[in-house]
Chains A and B, each alone.
Chain A
Amino acid sequence: MKAQGTAGEGGVRRHVLSVTVRDRPGVLSRISGLFARRGYNIESLSVAQSETPGLSRTSFVISGEQGTIEQLQKQLQKLIDVLKVTDHSEGPSVDRELMLIKVAVRTPEDRVEIRQIAQDFRARIIDVDRNALVFEVTGDEGKSNAFIDQMREFGILELIRTGRVALTRSASLRPTDVTSTTSRAA
């Protein structure tokens, strides 16, 4: 994938990184610009407000060798608006993906069968139409992929996935504290 990080060793693995950033104009372009400039490919990316006002948490899925990912983490950490970078493949963490998928319904038999499969997957119906059903699927990527495979024969009209979002499992983390590091103007 990338020549960067020659110091890396071991094989290419997928990593889920979460990055806590300040809500500042252009912060996402700083991050995506860094990925582009240093030749990393983002497989998925999601961004939203975190538990602390003024801070957002972004999750990335990215593949690379250990050294490459370490280098990326250090480069992210250098961005002034980045507060924290966590690699969820390093410790216990939970991750989920949300998918919305619209499946074609051509016959009443199909409708029954689709609903049955959805039930097995614990997919929720969030919109019902005469010719289509929209499902919400939450879980790991494997579950989304399996559901897509099952729905293919009926006809997938549209789908969207958030990409993985992740949190560490530990409950001992302190609440994010932005004020303690404020320093006096030089």
Chain B
Amino acid sequence: MNGAAAVLKALERQGVTIVFGHPGGAIMPVYDALYDSPIKHVLVRHEQAGAHAADAYYRASGRVGVCFATSGPGATNLVTGLATAHMDSSAMVAITGNVPSALIGTDAFQEADVTGITLPVTKHNYLVQHVDDIPRVIAEAFHIARTGRPGPVLVDIPKDIQMMEFTGTFDVEIDLPGYRPTVVGHARQIKRAAEAIAAAQRPVLMVGGGGQVAADEVMAFAEATGIPVITTLMGIGAYPAGAGQALGMPGMHGTVTANRAITHCDLIVGAGLRFDDRVTGKISRFAPNATIVHIDVDPAEISKLVKAHVPVVGDLRDVLPRLTELLGRLELDDWWQQLRTWRDMYPERFKTDKPLVSQEVIQMLERATAGDCVVTTEVGQHQMFAARLFPTSRPRTWISSGGLGTMGFGLPAAIGASFARPGETVVCVAGDGSIQMNIQELATIYKHQLPIVIAICNNGMLGMVRQWQEMFHAERYSEVYLADSNPDFAKLAEAYGIEGHNVFDRETAARIIPEAIAKKKPVLINFVVYESEKVFPMIPAGAGIDEMVIGDQEPDEGDGVAEKVGV
């Protein structure tokens, strides 16, 4: 057995059954060994897509995603995917070939300093120097990726090491004395947290991406206490969007109710989230009256941006049940009365008296699936609309690039999610800008006949940038116009062998969406929508969460006229 075969054997021992990747010179021994391996390989058409698919595979399943790439350009193409996974704490292992050891550092053909380049965007990385280290390095990579705060790990293996005879063992010890994540919460801190929560008059629970592993514990805590629940973009699905205690998403494009609740609450239980700037707005205006209880597995997130009064380091699966045990039902009638008033005053709404708008398309998708599907998104206006109108109700079914905001994520993510949850319908909500950033993956979708419905909200614009230019750059629309040179998306889909439709009106949309969902095969629908639609409410960048702009959604000359509503 050579090093390459040992790589695959080590992956098998980690329970890996599927890898997303693209071959090339420096990883050919691994691909040669793959020929005889039971591991399934999905050939993507760009390494970046392989990384996103592996990332989404983890997000959708909880099993570590794996991708392969060759040296140099193959590996550098992974960088965006690694950074995306790193920001959103997604467990993946990337394996890259490198030039032979003797050539490292000589500017060899297709050489890049991959461990150097990926250092800031991985949880850890390795350059394998001895063939017999392969099983230990792979075991450590998986251990690091999936434990504590999950993240991406890259293993770079020079070609000569892949070809050397392997004489080691697969019964390896992990050797990581510097890595000991704190999973079990400190009893005294949990007690302090319980006391603070019990004393609060107006508490809220804010759940982030960490909640995806602890949906049952979040539900039990919410049910026992009766606390209102806010889910961040990354927390969608960790608590059902339609449940009675749900207030929706906070932050820049959050709901009025969630943002007002934050401003007026006297206590926040932050669970598995990092108080990102898109959530907090200006920090000094964020939850000015609140005691902050912050539960997170990563101690470095605690008091990084928002000072925690009661920090609890630990896994939500450990901390939340122990906290629930110490708490009874909270007396929150007055608080709920206030929250319900806001919720009734500001329901999700948009006008449909003019051309087709993205929001109604997304709402139709939600109604056609009854939320019983996996949603992936690209990045932009459609992403925010989907977060508000198409949030899923089960954990690991909402897959979106939150921290890095990666355009080009959604389509390959749909591939990863589809392999992670075979048989389930995946809806990829996209814009006409971002879909073109990994459009080549239509080939992968076609090849595997994945049940993915690709819904492009095509306003012929880079809509989110256009919105900012309209609101903050005096309507100077610089380089956002795509309509004059967009492809015919239906024809493009057909060129890849995928059923494609161009839809211009709401009647056709209403008919075609349920049909497409029912087909359980790839369908691309290009919805040509109103170009000036905007995402509201909105907190302008740098403003406070209490300075929300609640514009109307009216597609006419009235847009841009935003009503500032005080709190």
Contacts and interface: CB of A to CB of B under 8 A. Distances in A.
A81 B174 CA distance: 13
Given A71-B304, A186-B139, A83 B298 contact: no
A178 B173 CA distance: 14
B299 A186 contact: no
Interface stretch (A25-33, A39-47, A117-125): A25-33
B143 interface: yes
Nearest to B14: A186
Interface in B252-311: 283, 298-300, 302-308
A182 B306 CA distance: 35
A183 B176 contact: yes
A165 interface: no
A94 interface: no
Contacts of B119: 26, 29-30, 33
A178 B176 CA distance: 9
A88 interface: no
A7 B120 CA distance: 24
Interface stretch (B27-35, B177-185, B407-415, B454-462): B177-185
A6 B284 CA distance: 10
Nearest to B129: A25
B124 interface: yes
Contact of A7 (B144, B174, B178, B305): B305
Contacts of B180: 181
Nearest to B284: A6
Nearest to B123: A80
Contacts of B298: 78
B139 A26 contact: no
Given A33-B120, A79-B178, A70 B303 contact: yes
Contact of A186 (B136, B174, B300, B307): B174
B132 to A, nearest CB: 15
A184 B178 contact: no
B105 interface: no
Given A26-B119, A83-B178, A7 B299 contact: no
B117 to A, nearest CB: 11
Interface string A12-46: 00000000011001100110010001000000000
Contacts of B299: 74, 77
Contacts of A7: 303-308
Interface in B135-178: 136, 139, 142-144, 147, 171-178
Nearest to A20: B178
Contacts of A5: 304
Nearest to B151: A78
Contacts of B172: 185
B558 interface: no
A37 B119 CA distance: 11
A89 B308 CA distance: 23
Given A33-B120, A37-B120, A81 B178 contact: yes
The 6 closest A-B pairs by CB, nearest first: A74-B300, A7-B307, A7-B303, A185-B139, A80-B124, A181-B177
Given A78-B300, A183-B173, A185-B136, 6 more contacts: A29-B116, A79-B178, A181-B176, A182-B176, A184-B173, A185-B172
29 contacts: A6-B305, A7-B306, A7-B307, A7-B308, A21-B178, A22-B178, A25-B127, A25-B129, A26-B116, A29-B119, A30-B119, A33-B120, A67-B303, A70-B303, A74-B300, A75-B300, A80-B144, A80-B176, A80-B178, A83-B178, A181-B176, A181-B177, A182-B173, A182-B175, A182-B177, A184-B174, A186-B139, A186-B147, A186-B174
